[in-house]
Amino acid sequence: MPARRIIPCLDVMGKRTVKGIRFENLSDVGDPVALAMRYAQDGADELVLLDISATIEERSTFAAVVEDVAAAIAIPFTVGGGIRSERDMEHMLRCGADKVAVNTAAVADPSLIDRCAAAFGSQCVVLAVDVRREGHVWQVMTHSGKRTTGLDALEWASVAEGRGAGEILCTSIDRDGTKDGFDTDVIAAVAHTVRLPLIASGGAGRVEHFVDPLVSGADAVLAAGMFHRGECTVDTLKNYLRTCSIEVR
C-alpha cells in the first residue's frame, strides 16, 4: 500500500470554518483560507473543503472560497457540497480544486458518477459517504446527515466503484466530533468491499486514534477539530505514526 495521507478537513458555512458534534451544534473555528495555509505549512498531504450548507440551501458551492484557497496553497484539495451536475464539477475544477466530492446528488442520480468520471476522469471524482450505524448495517445519510436514504453503505460504495468513482470519503456521523476514535468497523468493511482509495473520517481525538483505521485498510485519515483547536499538528501526527511503523508521506 502507498504511503498514507493526512488530510485536514474544513467544513465551511457562510465563508467561515465551523465544527460540531455529529453534524450539529456548529461553532466558528476560523477563516478557511488562513487555516488552509496553516495546514499546508504544517505538512498536510491534502485538504478537504466542504460547503456543508449548500445542498440544504439549494445553492451553488462557495466558488470564491475555493478560488482563494487555490491561490494560497500548493497542495491538492478536494471540494464538496452542493455538487449537482458535471457543470458544477467543472466549475470547481476551474476554480482550482483538484478533486470534487459528490454525495446527495449522486444518491438521487447515480449516473452523475458515470458522467463526471467520463468528463473529467475517475481521479477527480470522490464519493462522500456519510453513514450512521443501525444495528449491523451502516445507513447512507444525505443532506448533511439529516435524511435517511435506505441505502446500505457497503452496497452503495460498490455501486459507486462500478460507476467510476476514484476515491471514497467515509464519514461516521456517530463518531463525528466525539473524540472517541474512528469507527474502524465500517472502515474495515468498506476497505474489504471496494478497491478504491479510502479516506477514514469522524471521531479523531488523539494521535493514537489514527492507527486503527490505517491498519484496518484506510489509505488516508481525515480530521478537523483536533487540528483546528491546536491539540495536534500534522507534523506531530506523522511523527507518531512513524513510531508505529506506519509509512506516511
Catalytic residue status for 174: no
Per-residue pLDDT tens for 175-188? 988 999 999 999 99
Catalytic residue status for 88: no
* pLDDT value, residue 30: 81
Per-residue pLDDT tens for 174-231? 998 899 999 999 999 999 999 999 999 999 999 999 999 999 999 999 999 899 989 9
Q: Which residues make Cβ contacts (< 8 Å) with residue 224, sequence separation at least 6? A: 8, 9, 10, 11, 19, 177
Query: pLDDT-derived band of residue 57, with 50, 70 and 90 as boundaries?
Result: low
pTM beyond cutoff 0.85: yes
Query: pLDDT-derived band of residue 37, with 50, 70 and 90 as boundaries?
Result: very high
**Cβ–Cβ < 8 Å for 39, 234:** yes
Output the CATH code of domain 5-243: 3.20.20.70
Query: Which cell numbers in the block locate residue 99?
Result: 478533486
Percent of the chain past pLDDT 90, that is, above it, reads: 78
For residues 67-87, give the mean pLDDT.
Answer: 96
Q: Cα 223 from chain centroid? A: 9
* pLDDT value, residue 93: 97
* List 130, 176, 212, 219, catalytic entry: 130
Average pLDDT, the chain: 92
The domain segmentation of the chain, as residue ranges, is 5-243
Percent of the chain past pLDDT 70, that is, above it, reads: 94
Helix (H, G, I), strand (E, B) or coil at 30: strand
